[in-house]
A and B are shown apart, each in its own frame.
Chain A
Amino acid sequence: MADASTANPPCINVSNVVKTYRRGVDEVRALRGLTCQIPQGRLSFIVGPSGSGKSSLLYLLGGLDRPDSGDISVFGRPLTEFTHRERDEFRRREVGFIFQNFNLLGNLSAVDNVLVPFLPQGISADLRRQAVELLTQVGLAKRLDHRPNQLSGGEQQRVAIARALLKRPLLVLGDEPTGELDSTSGAEIYRHLRQLRDQHGSTIVVVTHDRSHIEPGDFVLTIRDGTLKTD
Chain B
Amino acid sequence: MFPFAFRNLLSRPLRSALALCGLTVAIAGMVGLFSVAEGIQDTVQSTFGKMPGLVIIQPGAPIPLFSRLPADWDAELRSVEGVHVVHPEVWARAHLVEGKAAISPPRFLFGSDLERADQLLFSIYREKIVAGRYLTAEDRTTLHCVISKGIAEEHQCTVGDTLKVDGKLLEIVGIYDTKSLFLDVAIIIDIALAREMGKVGTDTVCNFYVEPQAAVRYADIADRINALLANRGPGAWQPTLDQALDLAGDNPALKSLAPLAKAALAAGGESKPPQTSPGEAPIEVRSPEDWSDQVQQFTADLDLFLAIMTTIGITIAFVGIVNTMLMSVSERIIEFGILKANGWSSGNVLTLIGCESALLGLGGGVLGAFVGWVATHAVNARFPTRIHLYASPKLLVASLLFSCVLGMLAGLYPALRAARMAPMEAIRRG
Q: Which residues of A contact B (CB under 8 A)?
A: 59, 62, 64-65, 85, 88-89, 91-93, 95, 97, 99, 101, 103-108, 116-117, 119-120, 163, 167
Contact = CB atoms under 8 A, between A and B. Distances in A.
B343 to A, nearest CB: 3
A117 B430 contact: no
A97 B341 contact: yes
A6 to B, nearest CB: 31
Contact of A99 (B4, B346, B427): B427
Contact of A107 (B8, B341, B348): B8
Contacts of A65: 422, 424
B1 A120 contact: yes
B7 A108 contact: yes
A62 B346 CA distance: 17
Interface centre among B1, B8, B341, B342 (most CB of A within 10 A): B342
24 contacts: A59-B424, A64-B423, A64-B424, A65-B422, A85-B345, A88-B346, A91-B343, A92-B343, A92-B344, A93-B343, A95-B343, A99-B341, A99-B430, A103-B338, A107-B7, A107-B8, A107-B11, A117-B343, A117-B344, A119-B1, A119-B4, A119-B344, A120-B345, A163-B342
Main SS at interface, chain B: helix
A103 B343 contact: no
B138 to A, nearest CB: 78
A97 B11 contact: no
A120 B338 contact: no
Interface of B: 1, 4, 7-8, 10-11, 334-335, 338-346, 348, 351-352, 422-424, 427, 430
A93 B342 CA distance: 9
A64 B335 contact: no
A107 B9 CA distance: 10
A117 B4 CA distance: 12
A18 B208 CA distance: 96
B345 A88 contact: yes
A105 B424 contact: no
Contacts of B430: 99, 101, 103
B343 A64 contact: no
Contacts of A163: 342
Contacts of B351: 120
B422 A167 contact: no
A163 B7 CA distance: 19
A105 B348 contact: no
Contacts of B346: 88
A135 B345 CA distance: 25
Contact of A103 (B8, B10, B345, B427): B427
Contacts of A104: 338
Given A92-B345, A103-B334, A103-B427, 6 more contacts: A64-B341, A88-B345, A88-B346, A103-B430, A119-B344, A120-B348
A74 to B, nearest CB: 15
B378 to A, nearest CB: 38
A116 B342 contact: yes
A120 B11 contact: no
